[in-house]
Structure 1
């Protein structure tokens, strides 16, 4: 297409529809090739069609930044921010719910109908929308758990290959996140059962039918929602700083578990996640067992991210308040055994 033939529709780009109009990307390709110093920022929520068009038209000319909802650090500067921990878990971290104070029940109903179902249809042949919605809700009821595809498929009334395909689609649309187990043999990380999390606790809470933050106080999945929120917030921080290395978890044959393992350097970091507001000494037991297994020379002092307000060293770990996850790197300096 000649450079002057059809300039892009600026209004379409502002609506986030650039990826749906191929001539826009062809126009940008020629502009970029003619002036290497020229810079463009393309944004949009339509992940699948935009990425497909970019890989076809702008291969080798672009860098892709994956932006999940707001981090807790970013929420602290938002006005208004979350009222408290339960409000955060219920409302989630999408700017629409947090800053514009949209009712999460209306926001997520529209989000699922207009974004998730539309975009998911682009990558899978979705015939039974009702079963797919049930499948997504079943996933929400299993946050923080090992993924059991057979159980998911049975409860949703679909085959295991269909359940696997749907789960892949949810992850590709940044709706869910899978965390693999950590093993000394790297290959085993890819074949053992991962755990399931949602990329936003507000969406998970809505799918669970939690209508008000006050319901979370005694809800059986409050701890799972808290764990989900912490895991995803750590992933957000890593992605925002260009660190795409995945986190892991650890569990031995006796059921002792470390919620998160970060493998970023010569020493591993084990993280326990507890929603309680009163620190309990037995929270450190699994972390201590794990550190004995991997060796103190190979691991940092473990961290417990908890639902309380205080941060500081404990007997076998460092306690970090839930709203200070951005300070996680500071707990590693100076390094201590």
Structure 2
């Protein structure tokens, strides 16, 4: 098992809450983490029809089987169970009594909010981060291989190639999760929608254009995109527009949370094809944004990330709070620094004035240094940069 950086956070939360909830996309390692935190603890998966039926029909009887607590996998399949868990954990007053996992935010998190407020510590677990892969000596040796392979655990703990695993993952997700969450009659149309989203990773979200290209209504596109968000496949990065007037972009940017999945949806069959692929820059930006999100989620924090862009094209790819100020981060996939790359940060700093922090640049090269007061991080050090936030 590759050690997860969320482990310490999970142990801390389990000492202070009777229930620990681990959410994230399918195959991100939720069950493995939950079991590693609770060796010898009873385990039950609500993916199994008989267990799910018992939890739905006789929730009290279902929970009575676990006097010493349990790991309940895919708990979103029995959302009403949360109301019964409330009474049980209140009566037992034991910290870390139950661990719940779930791959959809809709059913699980809405019930947790309603029934278990104040009783649940929550971790959002995404696929491996670069520091986790590096710590296990599994980080790919070149950037294109990393972008193509992504970071889902099965691709690192089994002898599987991305071209073999991702088609099955995509098909399973469409057949299993989408049918549960949406009344999608034409799965081919939904798959087209997902591929069109992958083609827009790293771009401003234009929901009307996305709907038109897919041949669906604006309302349907919004609904489907919400499902992708709830399933931890995509992230909408909000713009930062406070205190800088009205001439700013206020549309979010769309990002996939794994570059391998996005590359598979784009039809990229090997890492060599990425070197000249028109989406390489967008996939690199997707990688960097995803790493910053993972660092925060592993620490039990919300994403807390923004981008900034004005209506003349000046842009900072990423902003996050550092104390009372905002740290600007520029992202470029090229291996050789070009002075034009710093223009967005320079514009930002001129607007902020004396309170402006020195900028960061994350790029596709190998060297780490400073230039014009800006710290330059190579792609291998994305985790180091994100960990300083």
TM-score by length of 1: 0.87
1:165 is matched with which residue? 223
Q: 1:54-84: per-residue Cα shift (whole Å, max 9, x none)?
A: 4465343212211111111111123533232
Moved more, 277-286 or 217-226: 277-286
2:269 is matched with which residue? 211
Residues 1:43 and 2:101 aligned together? yes
Change (3 A) 1:22 1:169: closer
2:214 is matched with which residue? 156
Residues 1:178 and 2:236 aligned together? yes
The structure in which a higher percent of residues are strand is 2
RMSD across aligned C-alpha pairs, in angstroms?
2.9
Whether the aligned pair in 2 keeps the contact of 1:180 and 1:190 (CA below 8 Å) is: no
Matches within 5 A, 1:45-194: 45-55=103-113, 57-185=115-243, 192-194=250-252
Aligned-pair distance for 1:16? 2.4
Q: 1:124-155: per-residue Cα shift (whole Å, max 9, x none)?
A: 32222111110100011111111111211111
Aligned-pair distance for 1:215? 0.6
Residues 1:240 and 2:295 aligned together? no
Tell me the SS of whatever aligns to 2:238: strand
Q: Measure the CA separation in 1 of the matches of 2:111 and 2:234.
A: 24
Q: 1:34-67: per-residue Cα shift (whole Å, max 9, x none)?
A: 3213412222435444335544653432122111
Aligned-pair distance for 1:306? 0.6
Aligned-pair distance for 1:192? 1.7
Matches within 5 A, 1:199-278: 199-278=257-336
Q: How many residues align?
A: 329
Aligned-pair distance for 1:329? 6.5
Residues 1:7 and 2:61 aligned together? no
Whether the aligned pair in 2 keeps the contact of 1:120 and 1:173 (CA below 8 Å) is: no
Change (3 A) 1:5 1:285: closer
Aligned-pair distance for 1:164? 1.2
Whether the aligned pair in 2 keeps the contact of 1:48 and 1:119 (CA below 8 Å) is: no
Gaps of 5+ in 1: 333-337
Change (3 A) 1:329 1:157: closer
Q: Measure the CA separation in 1 of the matches of 2:334 and 2:74.
A: 44
Whether the aligned pair in 2 keeps the contact of 1:260 and 1:272 (CA below 8 Å) is: yes
Whether the aligned pair in 2 keeps the contact of 1:288 and 1:316 (CA below 8 Å) is: no
1:303 is matched with which residue? 360
Q: 1:157-187: per-residue Cα shift (whole Å, max 9, x none)?
A: 1011111111111111111111122112499
Aligned-pair distance for 1:307? 0.8
Residues 1:34 and 2:91 aligned together? yes
Q: Measure the CA separation in 2 of the matches of 1:168 and 1:41.
A: 26
Q: Measure the CA separation in 1 of the matches of 2:155 and 2:214.
A: 29
Q: Measure the CA separation in 2 of the matches of 1:185 and 1:8.
A: 56
Change (3 A) 1:95 1:268: same
2:377 is matched with which residue? 320
TM-score by length of 2: 0.76
Moved more, 254-263 or 179-188: 179-188
Gaps of 5+ in 2: 1-57
